[in-house]
Structure 1
Amino acid sequence: MSRRTAPTAVRWSGYVAVAVLFAIACAFLSHWQFERNESRAAELELVDRNYDAVPVGLADLVPEGSTLDPEDEWHPVVMTGEYLPADQLLVRNRPHGGTAAFEVLVPFRLEDGRILIVDRGWVPPGESSREPDAVAAPPEGTVEVTVRLRPGEALTSSGESVDGGQIPTINLPLIAAVVADGERVEQSAYGALVSEQPAPATTLGALDDPSADPGPHLSYAIQWILFAIMGFVFIGYMIRTEIRARRDDDEDDEKPADTTGPIARRRRDHDADAEDALVDALGR
């Protein structure tokens, strides 16, 4: 290997190494997006299977002493009992109606004594924005309620807790700690309201249906694969460009001097004139 070739080979090896590392990173990101797409597809399939299923009793899905099976999320449950409006809580900063709304949580005591937290809907912020102007009361007395089961939410990273009857998230252990008979509160699930019988005099804003958007994960995964391929194409283009430039330089170095062109002819004429002038000078 010549001295000229050695640095070039090292440089090209560096190009290829960069392309390989870039492709590995793209493969990792593509795999991550494929996994997210699969997870989102599973979520959509779960909603499609459970959302409009026939309502069953709470004990059929969450027997006392057990927890909600993730495969039963969104499944409708019908219950008979009474609301406990004295322990009503508001979940702040919920995105409804283009505002930072409040969701209204009311404990619901079943006939067997268990308590399920029911998210009855939402209300817009009031003029002060720190609390709503009014919250419609739930039906009084014995009520038949249909809800869809949802798992509880985690606390915020800031560690916020109950503040003036408001909470940052639907964290069921936190709620159980502040409501009456908290030991009877179901802590693995709460209910998103579907219907109430009898209906209340004033209804709250209905909770949004879950999104059916699969998200951009599949397209992102394919894009990362294309980026990896483009990385190799770009490196190949750079190497080919260098080879072509070197070939042109080598051809220029090997080309013989031009002895017939106009420049060469002018040089010969100039030399002849100089010789004639020298002969004339000597003849004198």
Structure 2
Amino acid sequence: MYRFLASTRWIGWLLLVCLVAVAFAFLGNWQMDRREQALTEISHVQRNFDAAPIPFAQAKPLFGQLPADGKWTPVTLEGSYLTEDQTIVRNRISGSRPGYEVLVPFRTTDGTTVIVNRGFLPIGNENAGQPDSIPAPPAGTVKVQVRLKASEPKLDRGAPEGQLASIDLPAYAAKLDYPIATGSYGLMFLEAPAPATAPTQLQRPEEDEGPHLSYSFQWFAFGVLVFIGFGYAAKQQARINREDREEAAEAALRGEGPVLHQAHRMRKRPKKLVRRDGTPTDEAEEDAYLDELERRASQHGHAGRPDAG
């Protein structure tokens, strides 16, 4: 009944279905990976964001290289800002608003210089391409509490003089004439003494894993559905073939030519009946089968009629 599945056409359809299912499985796994990344980020926020700050002496290695589980670790710094070397980072977003973030080198009491991100500034109205003003950090000795984030990758785009395209600490270090820690920077959330004005503090990261799990289930379901669709199509073809055989057999018993299924009655004879290797095509074999049925039915009907006269 299902011998037609061994034909070239149906094998081709099966290979296509398998290819589509593999693509859907890949997309499902991709969404699962994205969900795993989101859950990891949430765990870092929940574990570190509200923890008690640790002293710089203990956190100093983290400024050289920040491990993944060290993200958002609060640290207390004591020293002074090097205001003359501050810069801004362009194309930043905070609360759906575009703007800039302010980076200022901070020299600790032990002589190490780290980078502090003092917060967000909206796009200016007076001068295009820069904020209207940049609030100055506190002068003199300052105590600052920051949360650590890793240096960002270098972007394939430039920035105007005095700005950076991303928080790429090695690129920032190349603009300075003294060494800085390039493994991580501190996102400021408290300064003492507090200045009269300061950039807006960046918002707490959202603890939402997103729709990745439901999306992955959808892709996996699509992968199963293509096989179900293939099975349904094969079942329908088997039904059509069975009905053709039954109708042909009944017509033969009545001494009539075969009654073809509508799908076959509407079928056009193929223009190409032989493959390149000389073997008949699937359509040619099907035509030969139907022609044989017609011939047998015609012989049966002729034999069953008495000769005239």
**Equivalent position of 1:202 in the other structure:** 197
Count of matched residue positions in the alignment of Structure 1 and Structure 2: 253
- Among residues 30, 47, 50, which one is paired with 1:49 in the alignment? 47
Amino acid corresponding to residue 55 of structure 2 in structure 1: G
Give 1:46 shift.
1.5
Contact persistence 2:14–2:230 (CA under 8 A): yes
Q: CA 1:93/1:217 → structure 2, altered by over 3 Å: closer, same or farther?
A: same
Q: CA 1:66/1:134 → structure 2, altered by over 3 Å: closer, same or farther?
A: closer
Q: CA 1:6/1:131 → structure 2, altered by over 3 Å: closer, same or farther?
A: closer
Q: CA 1:55/1:229 → structure 2, altered by over 3 Å: closer, same or farther?
A: same
Q: CA 1:203/1:239 → structure 2, altered by over 3 Å: closer, same or farther?
A: same
RMSD between aligned residues:
2.4
**1:170-181 → structure 2 map (5 Å cutoff):** 170-181=167-178
Q: CA 1:241/1:6 → structure 2, altered by over 3 Å: closer, same or farther?
A: closer
Amino acid corresponding to residue 201 of structure 2 in structure 1: A
**Equivalent position of 2:273 in the other structure:** none
Partners of 1:6 and 1:180 in 2: how far apart?
77
Quick one: percent identity of the two aligned structures? 39
- Among residues 74, 77, 80, which one is paired with 2:78 in the alignment? 80
Give 1:5 shift.
5.5
| 1:132 and 2:127 aligned | no
Partners of 2:63 and 2:154 in 1: how far apart?
23
Partners of 1:98 and 1:63 in 2: how far apart?
34
Residue-by-residue CA offset, 1:237-266 (whole Å, 9 max, x unaligned): 11111111122222221224399xxxxxxx
**1:79-118 → structure 2 map (5 Å cutoff):** 79-118=77-116
Segment drifting more, 241-250 vs 77-86:
241-250
**Equivalent position of 2:142 in the other structure:** 143
Q: CA 1:200/1:12 → structure 2, altered by over 3 Å: closer, same or farther?
A: same
**Equivalent position of 1:225 in the other structure:** 220
**Equivalent position of 2:248 in the other structure:** 253
Contact persistence 1:103–1:121 (CA under 8 A): yes
Give 1:6 shift.
5.7
Structure 1 length-normalised TM: 0.82
Q: CA 1:40/1:24 → structure 2, altered by over 3 Å: closer, same or farther?
A: same
| 1:190 and 2:185 aligned | yes
Give 1:38 shift.
1.6
Give 1:31 shift.
2.2
Q: CA 1:179/1:8 → structure 2, altered by over 3 Å: closer, same or farther?
A: closer
Q: CA 1:93/1:64 → structure 2, altered by over 3 Å: closer, same or farther?
A: closer
Q: Say which one has the larger Rg.
A: 1
Q: Secondary structure at the match of 2:61?
A: coil
Amino acid corresponding to residue 131 of structure 1 in structure 2: Q
Amino acid corresponding to residue 218 of structure 1 in structure 2: L
Q: Structure 2 regions of 5+ residues with no counterpart? A: 257-309
Give 1:66 shift.
4.4
Contact persistence 1:87–1:180 (CA under 8 A): no
Segment drifting more, 135-144 vs 90-99:
90-99
Q: CA 1:135/1:226 → structure 2, altered by over 3 Å: closer, same or farther?
A: same
Contact persistence 1:61–1:72 (CA under 8 A): no
Residue-by-residue CA offset, 1:49-86 (whole Å, 9 max, x unaligned): 11111100123123399422222111000011111111
Q: Structure 1 regions of 5+ residues with no counterpart? A: 260-284
Q: CA 1:21/1:201 → structure 2, altered by over 3 Å: closer, same or farther?
A: same
Give 1:186 shift.
0.9
Give 1:99 shift.
3.5
**Equivalent position of 1:244 in the other structure:** 239
Give 1:32 shift.
2.5
- Among residues 69, 72, 75, which one is paired with 2:67 in the alignment? 69
Partners of 1:5 and 1:204 in 2: how far apart?
74
Structure 2 length-normalised TM: 0.75
